[in-house]
Structure 1
Amino acid sequence: MAQPFAPRFRRPLVVLLCAQFLWSASGATEIPAVGSNARWPQPALQVSQTEPNFQAPSATHCARPVQTHETPGARNAQLERPRATTAPTMGRLDAAPPEALRKAEPAAAAEKKAYGSSTRELSAAVPPVAASVPAPVAAAPMPVSPAPRASIAQPAQAGRPANEPVTAGMVDDNADFSEYLNFRGRTQVAHRERDVSMRYLLQVRDARGAAVPDAEVAVQAPSGAAMWARTDAGGRAWLHPLAFDRTHSQMYEVTVRKNGRQGTAFLQRGQKSAVDVVIDKPGAAPARAQLDLVFLIDATGSMADEIAKLKGTLRTIADEVARLPSRPDTCFGLVAYRDVTDDFVVRRHDFTDNLDAFQGVLDGLQAAGGGDYPEAMNEALAETVHQLSWRGTGTTRLVVLLADAPPHLDYGGPQYDDSMVAALGKGIKVFSVGASGLDKQGEYIQRQIAQYTGGRFVFLTYKEGANPASGPGAETRHDVANYSVQTLDRLIVRLVTEELGKLPAGG
């Protein structure tokens, strides 16, 4: 298993200053890789359960039956909601209100009857989840935006005919980054702040110029603050130094490794928007592309239409992916979530290559519960990133997040920004799909997650943008422009196709 790494500035300051001077004076567009024989440091010791875990993905296969784990909700476990510890401006969280439990009870009971009340812990056949290994980042929590979130009643959703298509548009906030920053500036909602205003594109290639996918990346400031990433199928990763370094350093050390090959470069603020690193040929690519695909779904009552459509199109999506030129070896995973007042908080189904069994699990999922507007996205995203058996080196790892509400920011426990940071470190790319009824706060947070991990923001479209009952069309109420519209299943296939199409020949 590849170990997570916590690089330190090992070179004397004079070496860094010389590198900075030569780079600045030359006006070069690339920084030559240096220090390829430098010692790779050992992982940092665990400090806190709430800090991001950068343990590298390590599963070797998914040829196993569906294995299910459920985190029970307050009605089953008689638990209180966790109290917020990192967002004091959002207020404290009291025990689940009895009226919310009573309202959700009939729907949850019906769902339990349809799905079955028994749950299975992950079997011993699945490697245990590694201990959390945090980044050596200051322990102070990331701030929550002080902008208040208005109380928004969840819109009632009208059912659509079963054979009616679901249409969707898509924007790539990394491709039009200036417009994304403008969107962030004009959208004042409560959120977990990570500063992405300074962004650099890292491209990793071998000596022949071929992209190096799934290479481990560490970026460190002189202060010791660090971030992690893994390159995508095209050998690229977006780096956001200010998201982890509050000292606003002038230079960062970028270290890349794969299969024992290592390269190092320096990234200087203000010099350019991209950095290239070349490493020796890191070994042969897998003979067949490996794809780990997870559907992360809000399973509260308002999501009935979207869940029903996914059930009906999963087989089509899987068949089209299987016929792609790369003939990917695909593992499917499903994580459903509701809220702490519901029958379950998170129900995750680990990866399997048995499509029939996976379809059966999806068919058993019913939309129910959800007493208030925000849901348990924080908990579900954390379990998706840390608890599933993601395969190791050479795998393309994708999450399709389908939700119509933001996460609770007034709970303690895992937070979505820590999970998105860890997802980048594990090479997990999130495509956020905004379902009908998603408000401004939900859009902001879903776009945060997608942009940081290198994914896209997808949104459902209708004949009348503000009226989901108007049927499929090209209009949306979201703050987006310059998008094309497809059916949602075709759009998911397109996103997977584009990702796998970036792989170098032979992988």
Structure 2
Amino acid sequence: MPPRPYPQPQSGILTAGEHDDLLNPELYAAYVNRSNLGQEIRTMPRVDTTRVVTVKVNDRSGQPIPFADVVVTCSDGNSITMATQADGSVVFFPGLDRLSERITISARKAGRTIADARTVLVSGAAGGQTVGLTANHMAVKATKLDLMLVVDTTGSMGDEIRYLQSEMRSIIASITAKHRDLDIRIGFVFYRDLGDDYVTRTIAFTRDVGAAQGSLAQQYATGGGDYPEAMDQALIRAVGQDWRPDAVKSLLLVADAPPHDELFGRTWQAAEVARAKRIHITPVAASGVADKAEYAMRAMAAATQSRYLFLTDDSGVGNPHAPPAIDCYLVTKLDALVRRVIDSQISGRRIEPEDQEIIRSVGKYDAGKCILPADFKWQNG
């Protein structure tokens, strides 16, 4: 039986930080080397953020063109196509995407070539490279948002699930109020584990915000029993929903545990599908997150041009939160942080917190980047 209902707490209680591993490639490489989890979880490929090819497509006035198909053709004739995000950019990983030393890059929109092809040599040195394409096509801002919340509702989430419900209701209300001209749809995948009363429970995308909030309010935490959960099945369900091709696509993964060891590969396959569909995977790591969960979540966030969010102890809610393996970040209220992240995904520009929103800071933070000490080495760790 579900637990007795309790009064919902107010939003604005939970606190969190965030980190963008694409903006901090040196630190991510050091984290991967230091953790050595890539050796233990061989089905979770290494996302090498130190060698990326970022393609930016702008119109002739310099405005970014969202949702343009960027085609990268290798010297053997094989190609990979990925679409730009709202900021007009798309990131390719030479190792992960198996790019040749010489590649040709072009851009299309609605099947029509909008930018002349460019031939580029992929750098083998540490550090990323950016390739700009100027399109003979006018930029049009995003007018649609598909927001999917994938939420672990096992018993270990019980200490935070009611607070998360309030936070998410506040976030949804704020986004719909701020972007009144935006066509917003909201969906959910709630998940537990094999042997529980359900493994996944899907609420399809809807424009009815009240109905979506009602679905969220009905959820409660129970089940689980062991540490890993059915994250793989939840992500498969989520990425398989009817995402609109002309919408900003945002998936919030709220969880405190990794998938089962033997299912990391299937979890990564779901993340690869999300990347191919241009879906941002934005993890929200709750209390209980340990090494494997953080490793998987950060890899998925980096691969899909998103950020890794994590709850902190500043709120005093829930079990102690393991400190993230991150060198610098700002702590703010969770609801405000998620709003900023989604606003950034919609607008195509990174939005920083106001000074009065900052509860505390860790390390030397500068607009999403950590200021590194002079003696830092790429292979540090």
Q: TM-score range with shorter-chain normalisation?
A: 0.7 to 0.9
- For residues 168 and 497 of structure 1, the distance between their equivalents in structure 2, rounded to whole angstroms, comes to 17
CA shift at 1:464, angstroms?
Answer: 10
Instruction: Write the distance in 2 (CA, Å) between the matches of 1:348 and 1:275.
Output: 39
1:423 corresponds to? 274
SS of the residue 1:323 aligns to = helix
C-alpha displacement of 1:342: 1.8
C-alpha distance in 1 between matches for 2:4 and 2:249: 31
Task: Give 2:14's match in structure 1, choosing from 161, 166, 169.
Answer: 166
In the alignment, structure 1 residue 305 sits paired with structure 2 residue 159: yes
Distance in 2 of aligned mates of 1:420 and 1:114 = 36
Contact 2:47 2:299 in 1 (8 A): no
**Cα distance, 1:114 vs. partner?**
9.3
- The answer to whether 1:205 aligns with 2:53 is no
Amino acid at match of 2:95: L
Shift of 1:228: 3.5
Residue 328 of structure 2 corresponds to which residue in structure 1?
Answer: 482
- The AA in structure 1 aligned to 2:57 is V
Cα gap change, 1:502 to 1:426, in 2 (>3 Å): same
Aligned equivalent of 2:339: 493
Cα offset for 1:326?
6.9
1:319–1:375 CA distance, 2 compared to 1 (3 A): same
Closer/same/farther in 2, CA of residues 370 and 440 from structure 1, 3 Å limit = same
Query: Which piece of structure 1 moves more, 185-194 or 360-369?
Result: 185-194
Match of 1:353 in 2: 207
Q: Helix, strand or coil for the counterpart of 1:242?
A: coil
CA change 1:323–1:274 in 2 (3 A) is same
Match of 2:353 in 1: none
Q: Report the counterpart of residue 262 of structure 2 in structure 1.
A: 410
Q: Pick from 443, 446, 463 the counterpart of residue 297 of structure 2.
A: 446
Residue 318 of structure 1 deviates from its aligned partner by 2.1
Cα deviation code 1:97-116 (max 9, x no counterpart): xxxxxxxxxxxxx24x999x
**Distance change >3 Å, CA 220–CA 299, structure 1 → 2:** farther
2:308 pairs with one of 444, 457, 470 = 457
The 5 A counterparts of 1:217-296 are: 217-223=70-76, 225-245=78-98, 249-262=100-113, 263=115, 264-270=117-123, 273-281=129-137, 285=140, 289-296=143-150
Q: Distance in 1 between matches of 2:315 and 2:218?
A: 32
Shift of 1:321: 1.1
The amino acid across from 2:255 in the alignment is: A
**Conservation of the 8 A alpha-carbon contact between 1:211 and 1:235:** yes
Structure with greater proportional strand content: 2
Matches of 1:212 and 1:329, distance apart in 2: 19
Q: Which runs of 5+ in 1 are unaligned?
A: 1-109, 116-158
CA distance in 2, matches of 1:305, 1:464: 12
Q: 2:51 touches 2:123 (CA, 8 Å); kept in 1?
A: no
- 1:329-351 C-alpha deviation (Å, 9 max, x unpaired): 21101011111222222211110
Provide the C-alpha distance between the structure 2 equivalents of 1:469 and 1:195, rounded to a whole number of angstroms. Answer: 30
Amino acid in structure 2 at the alignment position of 1:501: S
Aligned partner (choices 21, 31, 34) of residue 183 of structure 1: 31
Moved more, 493-502 or 218-227: 218-227
Map residues 313-332 of structure 1 onto 2, 5 A cutoff.
313-324=167-178, 327-332=181-186
User: What do residues 30-67 of structure 1 show as CA deviations (whole Å, max 9, x unaligned)?
Assistant: xxxxxxxxxxxxxxxxxxxxxxxxxxxxxxxxxxxxxx
Asked whether the equivalents of residues 297 and 337 of structure 1 are also in contact (C-alpha less than 8 Å), the reply is yes
User: In 1, distance between residues paired with 2:73 and 2:234?
Assistant: 29
TM-score by length of 1: 0.62
C-alpha displacement of 1:469: 4.0
SS in 2 for 1:334: strand
1:280 is aligned with what amino acid? N
Answer whether contact 1:228 1:424 (CA < 8 A) is retained. Answer: no
Which aligned runs of 4 or more in structure 1 are off by greater than 3 angstroms?
161-164, 223-228, 467-470
Contact 1:321 1:328 in 2 (8 A): no
8 Å CA contact 1:114–1:366 kept in 2: the answer is no
Q: Does structure 2 retain, via aligned residues, the 8 Å contact 1:460–1:476?
A: no
Whether the aligned pair in 2 keeps the contact of 1:194 and 1:417 (CA below 8 Å) is no
Write the distance in 1 (CA, Å) between the matches of 2:85 and 2:123: 25
Letter of the aligned partner of 1:374 in structure 2? P
Q: Which runs of no fewer than 5 residues in structure 2 stay unpaired?
A: 350-381
Matches for 1:18-29 after TM superposition, within 5 Å: none
Matched, 1:333 2:187: yes
Which amino acid counterpart does residue 140 of structure 2 have in structure 1? A
Q: Distance in 1 between matches of 2:4 and 2:109?
A: 46
Deviation string 1:172-215 (CA, Å, 9 cap, x unpaired) is 11111111111111012233114424212110112332111011
RMSD: 2.8
The answer to whether the 8 Å contact 1:230/1:424 transfers is no
Q: Residues 209-233 of structure 1: CA distance to partner in whole angstroms, max 9, x if unpaired? A: 2111011223232345544322111
CA–CA distance in 1 between the matches of 2:74 and 2:122? 11
Could you tell me how far apart the structure 2 residues matched to 1:491 and 1:202 are? 27
Distance 2:79 2:219 in 1: 40
Q: Residue 259 of structure 1 aligns to which amino acid in structure 2?
A: A
> Per-residue displacement from partner, 1:306-335 (whole Å, max 9, x unpaired)?
321232233321222123367422110101
Question: For the Cα contact (< 8 Å) 1:231–1:237, is it kept in 2?
Answer: yes
| Aligned residue in 2 for 1:434 | 285
1:382 and 2:236 are equivalent in the alignment: yes
In structure 1, C-alpha distance between the alignment counterparts of 2:232 and 2:81, rounded to whole Å: 20
Bigger CA radius of gyration:
1
Checking the alignment, whether the CA contact within 8 Å between 1:289 and 1:326 is kept in structure 2 is no
The normalised TM-score by structure 2 is 0.81
